A and B are shown apart, each in its own frame.
Chain A
Amino acid sequence: MSEKVLMKGNEAIAEAAILAGCRHYFGYPITPQTEIAAYMAKRMPKIGGTFLQAESEIAAINMVYGVASAGKRVMTSSSSPGISLKGEGISYLAGTDLPAVIVNAQRGGPGLGGIQPSQSDYFQATRGGGHGDYHIIVLAPSSVQEMAQLTIKAFELADEYLMPAMILADGTTGQMMEPVSFDFEIKEPPAKPWATTGTKGERRHNIANSLYLDPEKLERINNERFARYEIIKEKEQLAEEYLTEDAEIVVTGFGIAARIARNAVDEARAQGIKAGLIRPITLWPFPDKVYKKALKTAKRFISVELSMGQMIEDVKLATECKVPVSLCYRVGGMIPTPAQVLEAIKQAAKEVK
């Protein structure tokens, strides 16, 4: 049974978080993610949860740090400039091995930039965003249904691997309305014996901390964390492959870019070009396996992005630059059209002939 409701992407994230057992949300107003805060402000008081409008994104992410230390599921959301402010806090979460979910509804940058959709925080998200050696799990929904589904997955992965997870959305996916089903099976969160919930006189104190003044110890902790990252890279890659089995021109893009690229791929096929699409769903870990697989037939990759070309670097790494990778992009809040992508596919098809 899966009754569908018509919802905005941002609202689907909020409802899914509540379904996942998140009862604590901290945010600060910024376009284009405000619907998440508004939804939480309405719902949380009714279900005994906390909605708190913090004094800044810095405060919000540190409130998240507090709830995460205490072992409860917690979320914050923002858009690009606000995510920059959260950078230190996200680094602390990673350095303390704490689970939390962060939503970035990206807007154009740098600086104050604009309020229209963008994907130009790809580097920030997939490389960690703050200081130090670390990663966070990055999930990229491209439909309202996925906004909900990946939010639940973000909570589960964060808890499983003890690290922050980010929903990397954008203005478009947040604002668009589509039917969505919330018929999810929610797993019980794992036990958190490390949480700072009071010793109750029964155990030695728990400490949530990222400070290690002994360099040998800090090195060891970093190595252990990266060993965990290797497991995640092995087990958690997710991508959608569309018409890639025989594709010579492989278009690739995430989120909103993938929806546009898919239209262009259909049109290219109609015109007799062997085009296909790879849509990464996990941006970290980057799904390099499907790119390697596509190399069997691919003569060219085209990375479609709402940025000056960020994911393209990971595509080149995944394919070890064995075939050329070109970029098809718009920035500043502008969105590539299917026609623009189709043009790029036709150009590539001509070149590989």
Chain B
Amino acid sequence: MAVVFDRPHALLDVPFHYCPGCTHGIVHRLVAEVIDELGIEGKTVGIAPVGCSVMAYDYFACDMIEAAHGRAPAVATGVKRAYPNDLIVFTYQGDGDLASIGTAETVHAAARNENITVIFINNAIYGMTGGQMAPTSLPGQVTQTSPYGRDPKACGYPVKICEMLSELEGPEYLERVTVNSVKNVMNAKKAIKKAFQNQIDGKGFSLIEVVSSCPTNWGMTPKDALKWIDDHMLPYYPLGVYKDRSAGIDKFAKKEG
């Protein structure tokens, strides 16, 4: 019998610790498949964040570094500057990590057009610490630290990373994808592959925001959580390419021109 669904080589044979139905697992797999397809496992260094995916360093077969909370883009900058031509460097970060405590590192790595690949898991919650409000939690969203629903008057509005970074001249490629259907998973993989290919081609900073689910802290079944992405997350976080300088999708250039 032909094997049709095998573990990518870039993922080690280690069981994930993720909750059932968590989309972290899907995105890990996509990243690993892309690493396999591009044949770069031996020269890739991944940077794990602080968050549910902290132990990504145990799962990916390439060399891995565990960064302090929010600092993965700075750590990636160091690695890439140490071996600009020999290593492919990616970070894998949650929303608390990338869009709250690490906002400065994210913005400035993008502004420098640092030649790295960033995988951004936006699940609108602090998963690992048990479901607190994230910078990306939706208005009205009930979390442990917004028990009456996120009130923008008191705690501000969600941070839209792709929109925000697209205002910068620096970054090469920004796309928002999701993984709540087969079609969307295929699109997500295409985007992730392009984000790695850009780095191989020396084009610079690529960030893929993956609108994700956290069934455990959203208090939903995995299936309901995927539907919640469609009904609530995507209207607030529209999918699409926010910047692709090489393809001429460049808000900054338009403004200048």
Contacts and interface: CB of A to CB of B under 8 A. Distances in A.
Interface of A: 24, 26, 50, 52, 54-56, 58-60, 62-72, 74, 88-89, 92, 96, 196-202, 205-211
Nearest to B101: A58
Given A205-B62, A207-B65, A209-B65, A72 B42 contact: no
A86 B70 CA distance: 14
B104 to A, nearest CB: 5
Nearest to A65: B75
Contacts of A92: 68
Contacts of B42: 198-202
A74 B71 contact: no
9 contacts: A55-B105, A59-B104, A88-B68, A196-B79, A197-B87, A198-B86, A198-B87, A207-B58, A207-B66
Contact of B63 (A74, A207, A211): A207
Given A62-B74, A65-B67, A206-B63, A70 B105 contact: no
Given A66-B82, A69-B78, A96-B66, 9 more contacts: A62-B67, A69-B75, A70-B45, A198-B62, A206-B64, A207-B63, A207-B65, A209-B65, A211-B66
B18 interface: no
A39 B144 CA distance: 50
A63 B74 contact: yes
Interface string B24-63: 0000000000000000011111010000001101101111
A178 B76 CA distance: 39
Nearest to A71: B82
A63 B62 contact: no
The 7 closest A-B pairs by CB, nearest first: A66-B78, A62-B74, A196-B63, A62-B71, A55-B108, A63-B78, A66-B75
Contact of A205 (B60, B105, B108): B60
A208 B65 contact: yes
A70 B67 CA distance: 13
B83 interface: yes
B81 interface: yes
B77 interface: yes
B66 A74 contact: no
Contacts of A197: 45, 63, 83, 86-87
Given A56-B104, A198-B45, A201-B42, A63 B77 contact: yes
Interface in B218-241: none
Nearest to A66: B78
Contacts of B86: 197-198
B61 to A, nearest CB: 6
A175 B78 CA distance: 29
Interface in B104-153: 104-105, 107-108
Most buried by B among A55, A66, A89: A66
Nearest to A70: B82
Contacts of A58: 71, 74, 104-105
A207 B71 contact: no
Contacts of B44: 198
Nearest to B81: A50
A67 B82 contact: yes
A286 to B, nearest CB: 29
Contacts of B67: 62, 65
A60 B47 CA distance: 16
Given A207-B57, A208-B64, A199 B82 contact: no
Contacts of A70: 45, 78-79, 82-83, 87
A214 to B, nearest CB: 12
Contacts of B41: 199, 201
Contacts of B76: 66
A72 B63 CA distance: 16
B92 to A, nearest CB: 14
Contacts of B64: 196, 205-209
A207 B65 CA distance: 6
A65 to B, nearest CB: 5
A271 to B, nearest CB: 55
Given A70-B45, A200-B42, A54 B74 contact: yes
A270 B87 CA distance: 64
B62 A199 contact: yes
Nearest to A202: B42
Contacts of B104: 55-56, 58-59
Given A66-B82, A74-B78, A200-B42, A208 B71 contact: no
Contact of A69 (B54, B60, B71, B79): B79
Contacts of A63: 74-75, 77-78, 81
A202 B54 CA distance: 25
A336 to B, nearest CB: 39
A198 B39 CA distance: 13
A24 B78 contact: yes
Contacts of A66: 47, 65, 74-82
A311 B185 CA distance: 60
Contact of A198 (B43, B105, B108): B43
Contacts of A72: 82
Contacts of A88: 68
A91 to B, nearest CB: 9
A229 B63 CA distance: 28
A58 B54 CA distance: 20
Contacts of B107: 55
Contacts of A196: 45, 63-65, 79
B200 to A, nearest CB: 14
Nearest to B80: A66
A12 to B, nearest CB: 25
